[in-house]
Structure 1
Amino acid sequence: MNALTTAPRRPLPQTFIDALAAGFGARFSTAEAVRAHHGHDESHFPDALPDAVVFPHTTEEVAVIVALCREHGVALIPYGVGSSLEGHILAVRGGISVDFSEMNKVLAVHAEDMDAVVQPGVTRKQLNAELHGSGLFFPIDPGADASLGGMAATRASGTNAVRYGTMRENVLGMTAVLADGRVIRTGGRARKSSSGYDLTRLLVGSEGTLGLITELTVRLHPLPEAVSAAICTFPDVDAAVRTVIQTIQLGVPVARIELLDSLTVTAINRYSKTTLREAPMLFFEFHGSPAGVEEQAATVQELARDNGGEDFEWATRPEDRSRLWQARHDTYFACLNLKPGCRGITTDVCVPISRLAEAIAGTRADIAASGLTAPIVGHVGDGNFHTLILVDPEDAAEIERAEALNRRIVERALALDGTCTGEHGIGFGKQDFLLAEHGEAAVDAMRLVKQALDPHNLLNPGKVIPGL
């Protein structure tokens, strides 16, 4: 068990409970079932329940909650939909969970300027449904129907990042409540600015440790005129990875390239009732004009053939593409079903594209040596891949072997000029790796920022910065 989850906690002051109960009524709860829901995420870490949960509706209400927490020394943990993988929303020091699910309004869509203003509880699917008929869409797709506030807080990306970037590139501005209750607005709707420190980029990826995001202005993109998706099988993973590297180095503007090893394909077939050939596979998607899409597809198909790729299957109808990508998004739960009752330790390294083959080959060798079940899947178009290490949560020795495997994968990625996390964030699961990646001086600089903005360490304590 992670030591942070067993830290002693003091009960919430009764005056604090009374104030929140009076101000929020049924939107404040200390019920066991509600707390349990907010003390569990998709990581392998033990649950850590908050002492209470509150559901704000406005920025002003969030400021009231923060002010009360500051007055009484109570920690706050922001909560989106609970899909995080590194313990971000676990109440490792107690405190209250601030659930943004009822702050879920699309406040404005500026079609001419291709941006939208949303509350943090809006999910990516909800926003795209709201944009239906506008000719625009929001492309960041981490798989789960995550909230945009949570996606900004963890600097999420996903399958479309190779073409459209990550949340870092697609958040133009935000409203946030700082630890002292002050409300700030960062960035704006202009597409560029040289005005002051870039507080938007500071808060994107801060994982709720520097401020609570209550409003976002996000960049929208035109729906492509033509879209085509395809799958292609390969004789081995190395051949698939060579195809990816050549595609990117040639400058083909693919929208998505996803790698699935044969074990992952087996899991998908069982879970999603598909009939894919159980071999290493790439999923592709191409966006653009009809002629551009056709040219991209022909180039990639030729590269794949040169590397032994075969069985190219095309999906041009929207329903066929949706079915294909839904199967890809179901890989996490599909792979968990390979070992019923297990939990998954998900690795999240990202390396320069030229080092991708070396990173994946080394990872496959490590998995074989470990004796663990660990399918590989990834957004390999930008050098990011995941290994889902399946473990029995009651088997301490197996968890120890899995964590050792995870460490070897990360250490290799860092040695190849990569990062310990391409999209999941640090939480408290990767704090040691943060230090290994950036060094003591850089982490000290991060610590100074945290202490300046949150001197009492009330905002999501125990996350990101070691020792806080």
Structure 2
Amino acid sequence: MTSQWISQLQNTIKTDQYSTSVSELYRHSHDESDHPPVEPEIVCFPESTEDVLAIMKIAREASVAITPFGIGSGLEGQAIPIKGGISLNFERMNQVVKFSPEDLLVTVQPGITRLQLNHIINRHGLQFPIDPGADATIGGMTATNASGTTAVRYGVMRDQIVDLEIVLADGTLLHTGTKAKKSSSGYHLTGLFTGSEGTLGIITEITLKLHGIPEHTIAASCTFETPHQCAEAAHMILLSGIPVQRMEFVDAYSIAKVNDYGNYGLPEKHSLFFEFAGMKSAAEEEAALAQELLTDMNCENWRIAADSEERASIWKARHEMAYAYRHQAGMTITGGDVCVPISKLPELIDYARDLISESGLEGGVLGHIGDGNFHTSIAYDAKDPKQQIAAETINEKLAYRAIELEGTCTGEHGVGLGKMKYQDAEHGAAVAIMRNMKQMLDPNNLLNPGKIFT
């Protein structure tokens, strides 16, 4: 028997804007994490802010949970509707609302992906540079405060957003900012909702800062004998003041994996990948200075990409690291996502590598070494409880060690389901303030319940 609130939804939005099919319920039951799937009771596909307001009204009156869904590329279970209810898929809210190239601003709906957005704005000599690897939606990237390979230069999502349009649980529609690039007026609500993972309000519009496309880009790579040396080299590059656009670390094990996956032919050693961008002469000088510094630190296999095709191949290989691990038949992939002060990075990378080696599991260390953020990718057999416990223990020990080093348990993937247990250790008394905010804005716990807080 169909619930009354589902019937009300079906009578409120268009027939093609909802689904209870087996395939759609399953598609919205999981993301790319290893957290158990949970199916919603119905999937809704809003096409406007007005649709979201109407759906929210029904959910509020029936006390039904709403879980936003972007493209399902999350790694911590944020999109899993663990209380059932409504999965709110934004794939049809994927339009540019307003493009102001003269102001270096664009306002978009949450369902547009970063590649779709760049396809539109690149022809104007502009780019949106945040690159988490996956072609994630801008709404999902906002909800998790995503970043990625270019964070060392451009920062994270929170640094790129000047205004959000939000639908609150009580039906209030608000804007968190203005179209000005900065403001000293009032509390920073844009920062509060960015990274809130859909637990405080539903994002329906995002206004982003844009950046010019650099005149010239150079990609380079080199290798070292140990991960520790890679981390020290990255630290030296940052201390030198070289404005790298990307600086990535990949350990030898992960290089071997991606070579096997994509036949890239990369040297199977602990590696650093760089990108230098700007005026042609400046980028060339920066690359030459980096080479000189790294050579003094005994790097090997220094190579500059010969052309744009080779440069694209380098970054394609980097982005396919995660898929190279997932390509293993019968294995489940999990991993850490820690971030620490740059000076603590060599110590933590060594610790991560030791944990994996001691566990007997296959795994690698890789990540955005330029801003102190790195990931572990660990393969285990989900049918073997001992292997699963071993994999979870690595993640747990790494997260607590990062917090001890004055870092965080998650640099960019978010809290979701997987990082809830670390919140008290990381934030202390501030967790109570966060809970109070959640209670004030969502007193009936309808917005993505069961995430961030236990």
The alignment's TM-score, normalised by the length of structure 1, stands at 0.95
Residue correspondence of structure 1 range 95-174 to structure 2 within 5 A: 95-174=85-164
* CA distances 1:305-335 after superposition (whole Å, capped 9, x unpaired): 1222121221253322222111111110112
Determine which of 427, 432, 439 is the counterpart of 1:444.
432
Q: Is 1:349 paired with 2:350? A: no
CA distance in 1, matches of 2:435, 2:82: 19
Aligned mate of 2:402, from 402, 413, 416: 413
C-alpha distance in 2 between matches for 1:167 and 1:33: 32
Q: Secondary structure at 2:228's aligned position in 1?
A: helix
Separation in structure 2 between the aligned mates of residue 117 and residue 192 of structure 1, nearest angstrom: 16
CA distance in 2, matches of 1:226, 1:73: 54
Deviates more, 1:18-27 or 1:250-259: 18-27
Question: 1: CA distance between counterparts of 2:397 and 2:151?
Answer: 26
Does the 8 Å CA contact 2:353/2:364 hold for their aligned counterparts? no
Partner of 2:386: 397
Amino acid in the other structure paired with 1:174: L
Q: Return 165-174 or 229-238, whichever deviates more.
A: 229-238
Looking at structure 1, the residues matched to 73 and 52 of structure 2 have their Cα atoms a distance apart, in angstroms, of: 22
Separation in structure 2 between the aligned mates of residue 179 and residue 327 of structure 1, nearest angstrom = 42
Structure 1 segment 232-381 matched on structure 2, within 5 A: 232-315=222-305, 317-337=307-327, 339-381=328-370
For residue 94 of structure 1, report the CA deviation from its aligned partner.
1.1
2:14 to 24, 32, 51: 24
- With 316-325 and 192-201 compared, the bigger mean Cα shift is at 316-325
Q: 2:374 aligns with which of 374, 385, 390?
A: 385
Aligned with residue 433 of structure 1, among 413, 418, 422: 422
Structure 2 segments unaligned to the other structure (5+ residues): none
The answer as to 2:196 corresponding to 1:206 is yes
Q: CA RMSD in A?
A: 1.1
Classify the secondary structure of the residue corresponding to 1:426: coil
Equivalent position SS for 2:73: coil
1:464 and 2:452 matched: yes
TM-score, normalized by length of structure 2?
A: 0.98
Question: 2:125 and 2:316 mapped to 1: Cα distance?
Answer: 22
For the 8 Å contact 2:167–2:204, the answer to whether it is kept is yes
Instruction: Give the Cα–Cα distance (whole angstroms) in 2 for the partners of residues 312 and 421 of structure 1.
Output: 31
Percent identity over the alignment? 47
CA drift of 1:336 comes to 2.2
1:375 partner SS = strand
- Secondary structure of 2:219's partner? strand
CA distance in 1, matches of 2:307, 2:172: 49
Q: Which runs of 5+ in 1 are unaligned?
A: 1-10
CA displacement at 1:24 relative to structure 2: 2.6
Distance in 1 (alpha carbons) for counterparts of 2:161 and 2:333: 30
Instruction: State how 1:43-82 maps to structure 2 within 5 Å.
Output: 43-82=33-72
1:316 & 1:277 partners in 2: Cα distance? 17
- Separation in 2 of the partners of 1:259 and 1:269? 15
How many residues were matched structurally?
Answer: 453
Once the 2 structures are TM-superposed, how far is the Cα of residue 340 of structure 1 from its aligned partner?
1.9
8 Å CA contact retained: 2:76, 2:413: yes
Superposed CA deviations along residues 255-279 of structure 1, whole A, max 9, x for unmatched, are 0000000111111111112111111
